[in-house]
Structure 1
Amino acid sequence: MSTDDRTGPTPDPDDIDAEFARLTEGLSLDDTPLTVDDVLAESSAAPADEEEVPTVAVVATSVASAKALAGVIRLGREARTDGIDIPTATRTLDTASGAIAIGPLSEPAAHDLASITSTALQRNGIVVFWRRGDRMTATRYKNGDRGEDISPAIVLGAVDDLVEELLLGMTALDELEEGLDPSSLTRAQALEWISSGGKKRP
């Protein structure tokens, strides 16, 4: 710590910090050692910044319609024995390559949704895509179990362009239609929706 030889009243520490921040804004200080306070300040700020970055989750399936997929997810939740629930803000939408389930979900919630969906679909595999900022992942699920993590680029070609647009930020979730909420269904409604929504619309 350097010695200050100036005379006069001692400046307020808060004023010194504010002035230092103003004077060094935009400067590269790579050669200046970090203090313990610097490290602690950055560590405490990181989680808050991360929380502000929007997230997007997309579960891509071969289910014929959004209506049938909503019923599938509702029954998948009931079939699980580990207590996981359908994440809040999940909705299903139709696409040309199969119905999708989407939502502004955290990464764990995205995997919960994939587990529930694939439990009901049993042997039919699905892929869950997830993005936050520059980070994008894709994971296969089958029969309720998590499979391999794969490069999103490998499987994006097999799904509707809307999935890619969502993951790349070209389309925002709030720009899409309202969709269907699987958590609002009763068991009887879910069975009816699966039956009536089992065929793709012409």
Structure 2
Amino acid sequence: MTTADRPDPQQPEENPSGDGSHDIDAEFARLTAGLGLGDEPLTVDDVLAESAEEEPAIAVVATSVASAKALAGAIRLGREARTDGIDIPGGTRTLDTETGAIAVGELKEQPAHDLAAITSTALQRTGLVLFWRRGDRMTATRYKAGERGEDVSPAIVLGAVADEVEQLLLGALTLDELGEGIDPSTLTRNEALSWISKKKR
């Protein structure tokens, strides 16, 4: 075989079936070879899955609590009451709306459910709804007394929240546009008790 006849090692071999196609994962592995991505070759599905994970997510815990201060205090005490060790997710804040205070954050799915569990532990008799959205996917889950309840259609319960909350969940508003809010994890126990007791008077 002459140099001119020798196949180029950089060019993918065609499928033996003769249809001119080749395995997309094999081609992808060839293109990413030597990039220091670990021992296991990446596939196209791996990259698509990672891209989905990087999409921004938003969690909204909708309650009937009258003020963001009282809700922040309740969440702080709810964390203390849990015996499973879950903590208030970083980036959580409480905000006032006309239909009740909400706890929000750019949270992945499990931390979002942790926040709802902590919040409903504090509120006990009062039910709440956790809305969670990433990209085109939105879920709504009921919580009561610290326990996860049924999943419901978001369309059914969105009508019970303030317009700005609905716009946030639909991507028409950002968290920054809703305001700074209150971070419950920064409260001391005495502050939490004080904010709750003031609201009860």
Q: TM-score, normalised by structure 2?
A: 0.82
Match of 2:59 in 1: 57
- Identity, in percent, stands at 64
Match of 1:195 in 2: 197
Q: 1:123-202 residue pairs with structure 2 within 5 A?
A: 123-198=125-200
Check the 8 A contact 1:64/1:198 in 2, yes or no.
Answer: no
Check the 8 A contact 1:66/1:180 in 2, yes or no.
Answer: yes
* CA deviation after TM superposition for structure 1 residue 169, in Å: 0.3
Q: Would you say how many aligned residue pairs link Structure 1 and Structure 2?
A: 180
Q: Distance in 1 between matches of 2:93 and 2:24?
A: 47
Match of 1:37 in 2: 26
Q: CA RMSD in A?
A: 2.3
Asked if 1:69 is matched to 2:71, the reply is yes
Q: Distance in 1 between matches of 2:138 and 2:27?
A: 30
1:80-134 deviation line (CA, Å, top 9, x unaligned) = 0000000000000000000000000000000000000000100100000000000
Q: 1:48-127 residue pairs with structure 2 within 5 A?
A: 48-127=50-129
**Counterpart of 2:43 in 1: which secondary structure?**
helix
**Counterpart of 1:57 in 2: which secondary structure?**
strand
Bigger drift between 159-168 and 81-90 goes to: 159-168
Could you tell me which amino acid in structure 1 is paired with residue 141 of structure 2? T
* CA deviation after TM superposition for structure 1 residue 35, in Å: 5.2
Relative to structure 1, is the Cα distance of residues 111 and 195 closer, same or farther in structure 2, using a 3 angstrom cutoff?
Answer: same
Check the 8 A contact 1:63/1:198 in 2, yes or no.
Answer: no
Could you tell me which amino acid in structure 2 is paired with residue 177 of structure 1? G
Q: Which runs of 5+ in 1 are unaligned?
A: 1-5, 21-31
**Counterpart of 2:176 in 1: which secondary structure?**
helix
* CA deviation after TM superposition for structure 1 residue 12, in Å: 3.9
Q: Distance in 1 between matches of 2:74 and 2:139?
A: 24
**Counterpart of 1:157 in 2: which secondary structure?**
helix
Q: Which runs of 5+ in 2 are unaligned?
A: 15-20, 29-41
Relative to structure 1, is the Cα distance of residues 42 and 77 closer, same or farther in structure 2, using a 3 angstrom cutoff?
Answer: same
Check the 8 A contact 2:25/2:44 in 1, yes or no.
Answer: no
Q: Distance in 1 between matches of 2:26 and 2:156?
A: 44
Asked if 1:11 is matched to 2:8, the reply is yes
Could you tell me which amino acid in structure 2 is paired with residue 37 of structure 1? A
* CA deviation after TM superposition for structure 1 residue 163, in Å: 1.5
**Counterpart of 2:197 in 1: which secondary structure?**
helix
Q: Distance in 2 between matches of 1:91 and 1:164?
A: 17
Check the 8 A contact 1:68/1:198 in 2, yes or no.
Answer: no
